[in-house]
Structure 1
């Protein structure tokens, strides 16, 4: 079970790639969303719900295992953030949208504008997950405002 939770938390081990693990996890998510993001909003919400639960549980486990509040190698939260960034949008096959979503999400995730830092205070996997989820929601709102340009 430990290996499975580590595999999930690290985004299929993409979080163990050298340098910028959060970006690697986000790139993995962007590739998966480009090829497989469903058109059905209900299916998207189902994927997000499953990813959210997996993120909270696996991130909490690995943070305790490694003795770190938010280990760099945990990137399932970035995957969730990217899913939320493209929620309700036609991302499959839309390179421009997915790339812009990736770029905006990484900028917001790294800069952490308010109120994102407040959510990092939540305990364990909740704090690890919710700040990236909020960055994804903010990215989604920006993408929707830019809708006519895409």
Structure 2
């Protein structure tokens, strides 16, 4: 069980790659969305609900194991953030949209404009997960705004 929770929390161990683990997790998520993101909104929401649940559970477990509030190797929250960034959008085989969403999400996740930092104060896996979910919501809005300008 420990191996499985670590495997999930680290985004199939992408969070253990050298340097910038959050970016590696986000790249992995963007690639997966590029190849497999469903166009059906119901399926997108189901995927996000499952990822959210797995993120809270697995990130809480790994943070307790490592005795760190938000370990760098945990990237399932970035994966969730990317999924929310693409919510309601058809990123499947759209390289421009996939790259733009990745770029916007990483900038928002790194800068963390308010109210995102407030959610980091939540306990355990909730704090690890919810701040990236909110970053995904902000990124989704910005992607729609910027993407609308590009695709016109």
TM-score using structure 1 length: 0.99
1:85-124 paired onto structure 2 within 5 Å: 85-124=85-124
- Partner residue in 2 for 1:73: 73
**Where does structure 2 lack aligned partners over 5 or more consecutive residues?**
none
Q: For residue 143 of structure 1, report the CA deviation from its aligned partner.
A: 1.2
1-side partners of 2:115 and 2:15: how far apart? 25
Corresponding residue SS for 2:49: helix
Which whole-Å deviations, capped at 9, do the CAs of 1:23-71 have from their partners, x for residues lacking one? 0000000000000000000000000000000000000000000000000
1-side partners of 2:144 and 2:112: how far apart? 20
- Partner residue in 1 for 2:36: 36
1:149 maps onto 2:150 in alignment: yes
Structure 1 runs (4+) deviating above 3 angstroms are: none
CA RMSD of superposed structures (Å):
0.6
2-side partners of 1:143 and 1:89: how far apart? 9
1-side partners of 2:137 and 2:82: how far apart? 9
